[in-house]
Chains A and B, each alone.
Chain A
């Protein structure tokens, strides 16, 4: 660590907390962040669309807090984290660090920010130049930030190596002499060398397993307590997030769908997508292996996300129209039928037999768990017609019939984040008092 004497005056002031605002505002504020990539076509690279990798994401991180971002591939969690560090240019919104907009920083202020916010990446093997000793690698940021005294650098590095559970003598060894877990400790040491306030850890333990993974997590936890560092922790592993984070935001297709204290979100998940995620993790009880199933298995293309609530094509809690009177199972079967047709990912039994001309009404109903008659007359008529269209091989008509028959507020309106309980927000129509739908109960 750089001792107090090492920093410039400006840094020293900050460390003593002379800025009255710094104590009050969160360390990091992310507001309405967008990161959109143009999709271009042809020689002129004409923009034909946009991948909305991150779309309107907001969250804060307090000093000393560990904040998790979870989601599956394509959720935008890594892009969001990278744009916090300025590694990725946001196309909209703002990231404020210590009250100052990161995008507007330049000169000394930008250098200070680069020192105060550090990245730890997933694969420790890629983090080090094989030709530098670990001592040189860990000291590199000090050199880049202008510390010229080699003895001081050495002293700082040796001290850090010991803090992360290695020995001072390891400074003279090369990357290949260390195990994966040791290398990850070294990348944590290197992140700490500039005395940061924020560490962005991008899947820092997914290349590790078992006790080594647990050790590295414990190390991160120790350093954050000891130095009051905030951590933005990106992970797909819910067990790791549960152990390590204070609060968590769950992302789906570029948006935050649920955000709150770890025990609320992971023990009492409110958003249907969070429930799907948790319900897909196998239980540790071998006799209880029931998985939660999404409405459809097709993950939409992030370049062309569904309208309204982006999760609606897979949401098994999707809201029925007010005038539809169907038992829950029947409603679910009808919308599953609808969105499976819409995704075009037809079960093989249906698609093959379409070609053979052998498909009949009973086969389609059987495949989609649709009873011979549905309790709601209008829906029943619509589904009948849609099935006839499927049999006739006219999928477009089938889709149109179904979308007329069972429209849903979930595809029509974009849900807004609502405070579900204190400090726990959910972005789902079922939690919005202006929408006629109650949250459903959930049990793992």
Chain B
């Protein structure tokens, strides 16, 4: 898995050079009776062809709403996409009609969720569900569709697929259901798979097989945008990582860079919490997250006055590294990031001591 996309592509190879997905300044608000939540608040990122990008962050950071905004599956209302552009293979998705989006979701961009039950119809055989997914977007004879179903269920590791294609979802184990959900999502050969915590609900031995399955998909040129809170899943799947906090991306890096040198103070805190009964006492109680400036400033040990904004701090490269940038004032032209980088040297490097 290479991450050197920008440097290795040539100018005349347009489809290689333009990212498959470009998200700019995406803003999604959720209005509830009591308040307006700035769930996604100015998010920019790209996903290249054949690349796996992981979005990490804690619940409420906006990672799911970000992904659900791309193809309009976020329920509107209460959500409202108020700004931004989403360009997918030359098409602007935020301007697309609902029926255009439905076509894109069925054929070009597929979703897989944490809980496969939500994607599978309990009263319909898994084979019929596959056939339905494929015939919506493709002229194909029932027999050929069925054959394709067997082939795909086999490819995702469902044993005796030809015998089991007429079984109902409940007749499969949890891990197999997730594989079937993935097979159905992939029925129409999408270019992009958006997977929201795809391995969170399954046992670890099953997770290992699902990770192998997902790893194999990108070899065939598909791109994956994967939401996870599990850093081990990030290590296993991601080429690049985006860290979200309070509706904003705060750090972007290759997987290696992120795990060895997390540089945004929030990323450091997140990674540090992963393997310690960490400094709970040192941390002030987490209250409201600000909706301007650096969203992390209320909890940040390095906060200074300019962190208050009004805008999110401009992204700046970490130690001149390609692909690695953070949204933190201390990394900007006037700042000194050394004290922050020193912090991580003091915390236990998580990929050092243990496996």
Bound-state CA distance A165–B238 (Å) is 36
Contact A283 B355 (CB under 8 A): yes
Task: Tell which of B159, B174, B209 touches A348, judged by Cβ atoms closer than 8 Å.
Answer: B159
Determine the residue in chain A with the shortest Cβ distance to B163.
A351
Bound-state CA distance A210–B232 (Å) is 13
Bound-state CA distance A221–B277 (Å) is 8
Contact B162 A284 (CB under 8 A): no
Contact A285 B204 (CB under 8 A): no
Determine the residue in chain A with the shortest Cβ distance to B205.
A280
State how many angstroms separate the Cβ of B163 from the closest Cβ of chain A. Answer: 7
State how many angstroms separate the Cβ of A352 from the closest Cβ of chain B. Answer: 6
B229 within 8 A of A: yes
Q: Please, which residues of chain B bring their CB within 8 A of the CB of A243?
A: 275-277
Bound-state CA distance A212–B283 (Å) is 12
B102 within 8 A of A: no
Contact A210 B235 (CB under 8 A): no
Max count, chain B CB within 10 A of own CB: residue among A218, A236, A280, A282: A282
- Contacts A210-B270, A212-B58; is A218 near B280 (CB within 8 Å)? yes
A299 within 8 A of B: yes
Contact A281 B232 (CB under 8 A): yes
State how many angstroms separate the Cβ of A163 from the closest Cβ of chain B. Answer: 13
Q: Please, which residues of chain A bring their CB within 8 A of the CB of B212?
A: 291
Q: Please, which residues of chain B bring their CB within 8 A of the CB of A347?
A: 159
Q: Please, which residues of chain B bring their CB within 8 A of the CB of A346?
A: 159-160
B203 within 8 A of A: yes
State how many angstroms separate the Cβ of B329 from the closest Cβ of chain A. Answer: 22
Chain A, interface size: which category? 35 or more
Contact A214 B280 (CB under 8 A): yes
Bound-state CA distance A282–B351 (Å) is 12
Bound-state CA distance A218–B354 (Å) is 20
Contact A284 B231 (CB under 8 A): yes
Q: Please, which residues of chain A bring their CB within 8 A of the CB of B57?
A: 210
B161 within 8 A of A: yes
Bound-state CA distance A221–B276 (Å) is 12
Determine the residue in chain B with the shortest Cβ distance to A296.
B159
- Contacts A165-B285, A345-B159; is A286 near B235 (CB within 8 Å)? yes
- Which residues of A from 393 to 444 have beta carbons under 8 Å from B? 444
Q: Please, which residues of chain B bring their CB within 8 A of the CB of A238?
A: 204
Task: Tell which of B58, B160, B276, B355 touches A284, judged by Cβ atoms closer than 8 Å.
Answer: B355
- Which residues of A from 273 to 290 have beta carbons under 8 Å from B? 276-277, 280-287, 289
Max count, chain B CB within 10 A of own CB: residue among A283, A287, A289, A351: A289
Q: Please, which residues of chain A bring their CB within 8 A of the CB of B303?
A: none
A172 within 8 A of B: no
Bound-state CA distance A72–B274 (Å) is 21
Contact A217 B277 (CB under 8 A): yes
Contact B255 A286 (CB under 8 A): yes
Contact A285 B351 (CB under 8 A): yes
Contact A444 B160 (CB under 8 A): no
- Which residues of B from 316 to 355 have beta carbons under 8 Å from A? 350-351, 354-355
Max count, chain A CB within 10 A of own CB: residue among B158, B231, B280: B280
Bound-state CA distance A73–B174 (Å) is 10
Contact A210 B285 (CB under 8 A): no
Determine the residue in chain B with the shortest Cβ distance to A299.
B173
Q: Please, which residues of chain A bring their CB within 8 A of the CB of B275?
A: 239, 243
A60 within 8 A of B: no
B256 within 8 A of A: yes
State how many angstroms separate the Cβ of B132 from the closest Cβ of chain A. Answer: 22
Bound-state CA distance A280–B157 (Å) is 17
- Contacts A283-B355, A346-B160; is A244 near B232 (CB within 8 Å)? no
Bound-state CA distance A244–B57 (Å) is 23
Q: Please, which residues of chain A bring their CB within 8 A of the CB of B270?
A: 210-211
Bound-state CA distance A444–B205 (Å) is 15
Chain B, interface size: which category? 35 or more
Q: Please, which residues of chain B bring their CB within 8 A of the CB of A180?
A: 59
State how many angstroms separate the Cβ of A194 from the closest Cβ of chain B. Answer: 24
A213 within 8 A of B: yes
Contact B209 A297 (CB under 8 A): yes
- Contacts A72-B205, A209-B58, A218-B280; is A282 near B232 (CB within 8 Å)? yes
Contact B277 A210 (CB under 8 A): no
Determine the residue in chain A with the shortest Cβ distance to B1.
A286
- Which residues of B from 268 to 302 have beta carbons under 8 Å from A? 269-270, 273-278, 280, 283, 285
- Which residues of B from 55 to 101 have beta carbons under 8 Å from A? 57-60
B207 within 8 A of A: yes
Contact A218 B232 (CB under 8 A): no
Q: Please, which residues of chain B bring their CB within 8 A of the CB of A276?
A: 205
- Which residues of A from 164 to 184 have beta carbons under 8 Å from B? 165, 179-180
- Which residues of B from 139 to 187 have beta carbons under 8 Å from A? 150, 154, 157-163, 173-174
B233 within 8 A of A: yes
Contact B59 A244 (CB under 8 A): no
Contact A244 B277 (CB under 8 A): yes
B208 within 8 A of A: yes
- Which residues of A from 333 to 356 have beta carbons under 8 Å from B? 344-349, 351-352, 355
Q: Please, which residues of chain B bring their CB within 8 A of the CB of A283?
A: 232, 235-236, 355
Determine the residue in chain B with the shortest Cβ distance to A72.
B203
Bound-state CA distance A239–B235 (Å) is 15
Bound-state CA distance A346–B163 (Å) is 10
Q: Please, which residues of chain B bring their CB within 8 A of the CB of A326?
A: none
Q: Please, which residues of chain B bring their CB within 8 A of the CB of A289?
A: 211, 215, 235-236
Q: Please, which residues of chain B bring their CB within 8 A of the CB of A286?
A: 235-236, 238, 255-256, 259
Contact A294 B205 (CB under 8 A): yes
Q: Please, which residues of chain B bring their CB within 8 A of the CB of A239?
A: 232, 274-275
Determine the residue in chain B with the shortest Cβ distance to A221.
B277
Bound-state CA distance A287–B239 (Å) is 11
Contact B269 A277 (CB under 8 A): no
Determine the residue in chain B with the shortest Cβ distance to A177.
B34
State how many angstroms separate the Cβ of A181 from the closest Cβ of chain B. Answer: 9
Per-residue 0/1 for A226-266: is the Cβ within 8 Å of any B Cβ (1 yes, 0 no)? 00000000001011000110000000000000000000000
Q: Please, which residues of chain A bring their CB within 8 A of the CB of B158?
A: 348
State how many angstroms separate the Cβ of B196 from the closest Cβ of chain A. Answer: 13
Contact B205 A210 (CB under 8 A): no
Contact B154 A214 (CB under 8 A): no
State how many angstroms separate the Cβ of A65 from the closest Cβ of chain B. Answer: 16
Contact A282 B350 (CB under 8 A): no
Q: Please, which residues of chain A bring their CB within 8 A of the CB of B203?
A: 72-73, 236
- Contacts A219-B280, A280-B207, A284-B350; is A348 near B355 (CB within 8 Å)? no
Q: Name 7 A/B residue pairs within 8 A (Cβ), A-sorted.
A: A208-B59, A211-B270, A282-B232, A286-B235, A286-B238, A297-B205, A345-B159
Across the A-B interface, the 9 shortest Cβ-Cβ residue pairs = A345-B159, A214-B273, A282-B236, A348-B154, A210-B58, A72-B203, A209-B229, A282-B232, A280-B208
B residues sitting closer than 8 Å to A (CB atoms) are 57-60, 150, 154, 157-163, 173-174, 203-205, 207-209, 211-212, 215, 229, 231-233, 235-236, 238, 255-256, 259, 269-270, 273-278, 280, 283, 285, 350-351, 354-355
Apart from the given pairs A211-B270, A218-B277, A349-B154, 4 other A-B contacts in the complex at a CB distance below 8 Å: A212-B59, A280-B205, A286-B236, A289-B236
